[in-house]
Amino acid sequence: MQPTIVHVCRHGQVDNPEHILYGRLDGYGLSELGHRMAERLGEHFADVPLQHLRVSPLQRAKETLAPIAAAHPDLGIVEDARVIEAANILEGQAFGRFNQRLLLPKNLIHLRNPLRPSWGEPYPQIAQRMRAAIADAAASVPQGSQALIVAHQLPIYIARLDAEGRSFVHNPATRECRLASVTSFHLIDGRVTGVEYSEPAADLYPAKKKIFRPGM
């Protein structure tokens, strides 16, 4: 039996020069580079026989989906709040070049338990909603077909850890879920049987790595 494939794409680079931890805030769209990344995803999926499109309600995700949807004009788009960015108590702040403002007392109290994590939405809760959304996307197409979702880094990565039976506890700087990347979940009878990862926009990434900070 051929697996159903649900491709879950991370959005492209966001226009965020102040490095705000934007989270679920309105008004954060793609940068010029982000739009190029989105176009690359559109090219990547142009000849893929997608039968279902689903997207986070946030602007950056919708802008990333746009070139993909343009290549598949016969498909409607389902907006799904379950694939939105993770909730975060620190949303709206900028932490400085070296994240030094994270050490302010008002922020430290929220960092007391990285296993949950204490600063935001619990990892199991993220896994549960992503698992359900991916399953629904798969159920929306015939067995052996392909669907696509545009979402956000942490929810995508937690969904992968969940599918692979790995611990949710991780270092954010080491997530394998770069901008405009594709994490593809293979499902048979609603059960994930494998996960693949690719980076169609890899050649567009800046050559020099930047310091990891929230809001990037």
* pLDDT tens-digit readout, 169-178: 999 889 999 9
Q: Are 172 and 120 in contact (CB under 8 A)?
A: no
Would you say residue 189 lies in a domain?
yes
Q: What's the pLDDT tens digit per position in 141-164?
A: 999 999 999 999 999 999 999 999
Looking up tokens 């994590």 gives 117
Would you say residue 162 lies in a domain?
yes
Mean pLDDT, residues 93-114: 76
Q: What's the pLDDT tens digit per position in 112-151?
A: 888 789 989 999 999 999 999 999 999 999 999 999 999 9
Would you say residue 103 lies in a domain?
no
Enter the pTM of the model.
0.93
Looking up tokens 């290549």 gives 71
Cβ neighbours for 146, distance < 8 A, ≥ 6 positions apart: 4, 5, 6, 7, 48, 49, 50, 51
Return d(Cα 129, Cα 35) in angstroms, integer: 28
Domain holding 144: CATH number? 3.40.50.1240
Would you say residue 116 lies in a domain?
no
Number of domains in the chain: 1
φ/ψ of 70, rounded to 5, equals -65, -30
Mean pLDDT, residues 4-30: 95
Would you say residue 93 lies in a domain?
no
Tokens standing for residue 17: 């020069």
Would you say residue 38 lies in a domain?
yes
Strand partners, 150: 9, 55
Would you say residue 64 lies in a domain?
yes
Return d(Cα 159, Cα 153) in angstroms, integer: 10
Would you say residue 111 lies in a domain?
no
Range of the domain at 40: 4-16+30-87+122-204
Report whether pLDDT(209) > 90.
Answer: no
